[in-house]
């Protein structure tokens, strides 16, 4: 839930009012330049990449189900009839999350430690707004763009810069290591990557604490290998089907033994 007054709406002619915001959402508006805060856009192109628009009924044919923004989101029934053309994976820094037969539909880029997500079509030109997947996408996009929106607090890795809102000209991070940042003209301060794991206290900043860990968002997708390397030698570990055994070799061996026994008994009786 967002607190009352936490959301403000501005016309395209007043985009400078977005300064100091924690997240900017563009609806059919393409900014002249990306702000230093995370952004989410619908029917919004990237600045300085005027690739035009395309019209006609389209469907999304492929999407990255493992990406944090699209987990548990089905796009198979989404239909739209107008979209801006977004750059693809061949553009540095751009990751395509979903695409149609005509090109990218949902993309993500990271610049200066800040994430930006774009959806090629406006919601009003699609049926996505009435589907459950839309609400899941927005919630996960907010969490991706503004960590801590679910209440866990901000967590960074040792390679991520930390951008916070500053209430004074200087922000100090105190914890396993120390860092100092100066407030910029947009009211935010960008701390350098905190190279030591732990919890840091931030002075003159919101939020007032930040956690730094070595966790990875794809850690739950790690698989178990069939062999583990121990020093200079490798030892085979139990595989996923180590408990399964074929019984037919044992049945064949028992049958051969019974046939042999029967032959010996028959031969002994024939001699008598």
Q: Quick one: pLDDT band at residue 80, thresholds 50, 70, 90?
A: very high
Sorted by sequence, the CB contacts under 8 Å of residue 135 that are 6+ apart come out as none
Sorted by sequence, the CB contacts under 8 Å of residue 45 that are 6+ apart come out as 30, 51, 84, 85, 86, 118
Q: Quick one: pLDDT band at residue 151, thresholds 50, 70, 90?
A: very low
What is the distance of C-alpha 49 from the center of its chain?
24
Please state, rounded to an integer, the average pLDDT across all residues of the chain: 80
As a whole-number percent, the residues of the chain with pLDDT over 90 amount to 25
- Pull the structure tokens for residue 13: 């002619």
What is the distance of C-alpha 162 from the center of its chain?
18
Note the maximum CA span of the chain: 114
Q: Is the pLDDT of residue 39 over 60?
A: yes
Greater confidence (68 vs 18) lies with: 68
Q: What is the per-residue pLDDT for 220?
A: 47
Q: What is the per-residue pLDDT for 122?
A: 93
Q: What is the per-residue pLDDT for 23?
A: 84
- Pull the structure tokens for residue 246: 């074929």
Q: What is the per-residue pLDDT for 9?
A: 73
Q: Quick one: pLDDT band at residue 168, thresholds 50, 70, 90?
A: confident
**Which among 202, 207, 204, 163 has a CA at the least distance from the CA of 186?**
163
Q: What is the per-residue pLDDT for 15?
A: 58
Q: Is the pLDDT of residue 241 over 60?
A: no
Summarised one tens digit per residue, pLDDT across range 187-209 is 788 888 888 888 888 888 877 78
């Amino acid at each position: 839930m967002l607190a009352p007054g936490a959301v403000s709406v501005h016309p395209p002619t007043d985009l400078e009012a977005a300064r100091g915001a924690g997240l900017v959402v563009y609806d059919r508006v393409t900014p002249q330049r990306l702000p230093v805060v995370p952004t989410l856009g619908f029917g919004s192109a990237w600045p300085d990449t005027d690739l035009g628009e395309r019209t006609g009924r389209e469907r999304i044919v492929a999407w990255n189900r493992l990406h944090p923004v699209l987990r548990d989101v089905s796009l198979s029934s989404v239909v739209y009839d107008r979209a801006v053309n977004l750059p693809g994976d061949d553009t540095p820094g751009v990751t395509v999350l979903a695409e149609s037969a005509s090109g990218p539909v949902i993309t993500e880029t990271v610049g200066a430690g800040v994430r930006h997500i774009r959806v090629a079509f406006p919601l009003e030109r699609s049926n996505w707004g009435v589907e459950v997947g839309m609400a899941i996408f927005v919630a996960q996009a907010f969490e991706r763009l503004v960590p801590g929106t679910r209440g866990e607090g901000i967590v960074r890795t040792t390679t991520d810069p930390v951008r916070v809102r500053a209430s004074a000209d200087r922000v100090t991070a105190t914890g396993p290591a120390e860092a100092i940042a100066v407030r910029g003209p947009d009211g935010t301060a960008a701390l350098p990557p905190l190279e030591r794991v732990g919890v840091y206290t931030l002075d003159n900043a919101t939020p007032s604490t930040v956690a730094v860990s070595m966790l990875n968002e794809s850690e739950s997708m790690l698989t178990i290998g069939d062999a583990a390397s121990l020093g200079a030698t490798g030892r085979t570990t139990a595989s996923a089907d180590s408990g399964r055994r074929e019984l037919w070799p044992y049945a064949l061996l028992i049958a051969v033994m019974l046939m042999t026994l029967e032959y010996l008994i028959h031969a002994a009786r024939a001699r008598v």
